[in-house]
């Protein structure tokens, strides 16, 4: 009986605003309704490894005149950054992601830019083609990548949202709240809103 009651209440629960969420945050969250995930494109170890590439034809399916206004863009930043603590993101890869984000924003989309598949952060085995780093550099690299991402995309449309990490689990799960608070503070240095 409890399950039925929960299922019956689910639509109302999904519409309820989280306590403390600003009207702006609520409005932006609603813009993510009925979106699409551009997965398996740039979250593979190298673009194309999993059969898809981030192509203009996909971008043209969304936004103005498209079937949805919201796109989640998962990106495997970790495999495109230097292996040291600075984790300098490859300029060509960065430009590729920036061009896609800008094209989506220009089409009127709300974009959720995500860090995806940083396997070592979770303690997971590496994917074929993924680069390993020294264990003591894993977390500093996470913060260094987000600092670069946040700075690169500062002053973009409010329709660009950041998802600091996809599905924290494994080794990261017990300390995720602490890591999240730190990365959120880092992001807000260049993106206060």
26-75 confidence digits (pLDDT tens)? 888 888 888 999 999 999 999 999 999 999 999 999 998 788 899 999 99
Q: Which two tokens stand for residue 45?
A: 């170890």
Tell which residue, 49, 29, 103, has the closest CA to residue 73: 103
Tell which residue, 100, 45, 106, has the closest CA to residue 73: 100
Q: Give me the phi and psi of 71, to 5 degrees please.
A: -135, 130
> pTM of the prediction?
0.88
Euclidean distance between CA atoms 13 and 45, whole angstroms:
37
- With 50 as the cut, is the pLDDT of residue 6 above it? no
Cβ-based burial of 146 (10 A; exposed 0-12, middle 13-18, buried ≥19): buried
Enter the DSSP assignment of 127. P
**Which residue is listed with tokens 């206004």?**
69
Percent above pLDDT 70 for the chain: 90
- At residue 16, the pLDDT reads 58
Q: Are 180 and 172 in contact (CB under 8 A)?
A: no
Which pairing describes strands 110-115 and 36-37: parallel, antiparallel, or unpaired? unpaired
Q: Element (H or E) spanning 70, and its range?
A: strand 70-75
- At residue 8, the pLDDT reads 53
**Which residue is listed with tokens 């303690």?**
123
Least confident of 3-12, 26-35, 88-97: 3-12
| 143-165 pLDDT, tens digit each | 999 999 999 999 999 999 999 99
Q: Are 74 and 35 in contact (CB under 8 A)?
A: no
Write down the mean pLDDT value for the chain: 90
Q: With H, G, I as helix, E, B as strand and everything else as coil, classify residue 38.
A: coil
Q: Give me the phi and psi of 44, to 5 degrees please.
A: -75, 165
- At residue 28, the pLDDT reads 84
**Which residue is listed with tokens 């949805």?**
68
Q: Are 118 and 144 in contact (CB under 8 A)?
A: no
pLDDT band at 1 (very low <50, low <70, confident <90, very high): very low
| 103-136 pLDDT, tens digit each | 999 999 999 999 999 999 999 999 999 989 999 9
Q: With H, G, I as helix, E, B as strand and everything else as coil, classify residue 133.
A: coil
């Amino acid at each position: 009986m409890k399950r039925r009651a929960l299922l019956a209440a689910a639509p109302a629960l999904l519409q309820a605003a989280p306590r403390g969420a600003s009207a702006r945050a609520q409005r932006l969250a609603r813009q993510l309704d009925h979106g699409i995930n551009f997965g398996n494109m740039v979250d593979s170890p190298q673009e194309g490894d999993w059969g898809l590439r981030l192509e203009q034809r996909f971008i043209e399916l969304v936004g103005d005149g498209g079937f949805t206004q919201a796109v989640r863009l998962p990106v495997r930043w970790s495999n495109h950054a230097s292996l040291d603590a600075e984790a300098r993101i490859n300029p060509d890869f960065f430009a590729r992601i920036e061009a896609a984000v800008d094209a989506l924003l220009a089409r009127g989309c709300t974009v959720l830019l995500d860090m995806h598949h940083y396997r070592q952060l979770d303690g997971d085995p590496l994917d074929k083609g993924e680069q390993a780093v020294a264990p003591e550099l894993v977390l500093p690299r996470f913060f260094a990548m987000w600092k670069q991402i946040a700075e690169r995309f500062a002053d973009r449309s409010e329709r660009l949202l950041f998802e600091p990490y996809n599905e924290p689990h494994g080794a990261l799960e017990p300390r995720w709240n602490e890591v999240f608070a730190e990365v959120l503070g880092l992001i807000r240095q260049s993106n206060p809103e």
